[in-house]
């Protein structure tokens, strides 16, 4: 079973710092990182900076279209107005089929604000108690949506077509 996890940090550079910890945990086989992205939002900026990371495992990455849609729904739709918001709302319906619902999007939107950062990670095979123990030292706040194997397969299928087109 895969999990889309969002770790929110109270500084604009906290998420980037957590990458080293995540890589170490993967080397210790406490978690498998399938794909990841970082959001940084310095104080004074109207919108955050988003960056997809290269897959840390090489296989199974979701790709830029997934992260672009997800970040658009979370951070940019409220800034774009009703017409674009309605179109993105239709697209977001397909994400709810794979375990990413309006509550998840709203929760992340409310928590990742100017002056913060977030690490978005698609993981599997996590030893949850060990990973959470290591992340407690970072003072990160955890927001996650668990995906079943079926939901993960549908998510990969939905975005594979966009990547090859």
How do residues 67-84 score in pLDDT, each as one tens digit?
877 887 788 755 444 444
**Mean pLDDT estimate for the chain:** 77
Domain total in the chain? 1
Task: Tell me how far apart the 2 most distant CA atoms of the chain are, in Å.
Answer: 47
**7 — phi, psi (to 5°)?**
-105, 115
| pTM of full prediction above 0.85 | no
Could you give the 3-state DSSP secondary structure of residue 43? coil
Distance CA 111, CA 12 (A): 13
Tell me what pLDDT residue 111 has: 93
Both tokens of 114, joined, read: 């100017």
Q: Where does the pLDDT of residue 131 fall: very low under 50, low under 70, confident under 90, or very high at 90 and above?
A: confident
**CA nearest neighbour of 60 among 118, 2, 127:** 2
Residue 150 has pLDDT above 60, yes or no: yes
Q: Please state which of the ranges 71-75, 87-91, 120-124 shows the lowest mean pLDDT.
A: 87-91
Q: Which residues contact 133 (CB under 8 A, 6 or more apart)?
A: none
Hey, how many other C-beta atoms are within 10 angstroms of the C-beta on 94? Answer: 13
Q: Quote the domain boundaries for residue 112.
A: 2-121+128-164
Helix (H) or strand (E) holding 160: helix 149-164
| Rounded average pLDDT over 129-150 | 81
Both tokens of 64, joined, read: 């830029």
Tell me what pLDDT residue 164 has: 46
Residue 13 has pLDDT above 80, yes or no: yes
In this predicted model, which residue has the larger pLDDT, 47 or 92? 47
Distance CA 141, CA 120 (A): 12
């Amino acid at each position: 079973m895969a999990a889309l996890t969002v770790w929110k940090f109270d500084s604009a550079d906290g998420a980037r710092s957590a990458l080293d910890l995540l890589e170490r945990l993967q080397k210790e086989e406490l978690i498998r990182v399938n794909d990841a992205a970082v959001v940084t939002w310095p104080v004074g900026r109207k919108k955050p900076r988003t960056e997809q990371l290269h897959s840390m495992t090489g296989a199974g990455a979701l790709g830029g279209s997934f992260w672009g849609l997800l970040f658009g729904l979370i951070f940019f739709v409220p800034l774009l107005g009703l017409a674009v918001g309605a179109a993105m709302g239709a697209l977001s319906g397909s994400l709810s089929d794979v375990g990413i619902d309006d509550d998840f999007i709203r929760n992340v939107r409310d928590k990742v604000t100017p002056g913060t950062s977030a690490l978005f990670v698609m993981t599997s095979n996590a030893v949850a108690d060990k990973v959470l123990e290591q992340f407690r030292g970072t003072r990160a706040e955890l927001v996650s949506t668990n995906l079943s194997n079926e939901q993960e397969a549908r998510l990969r299928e939905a975005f594979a077509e966009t990547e090859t087109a």
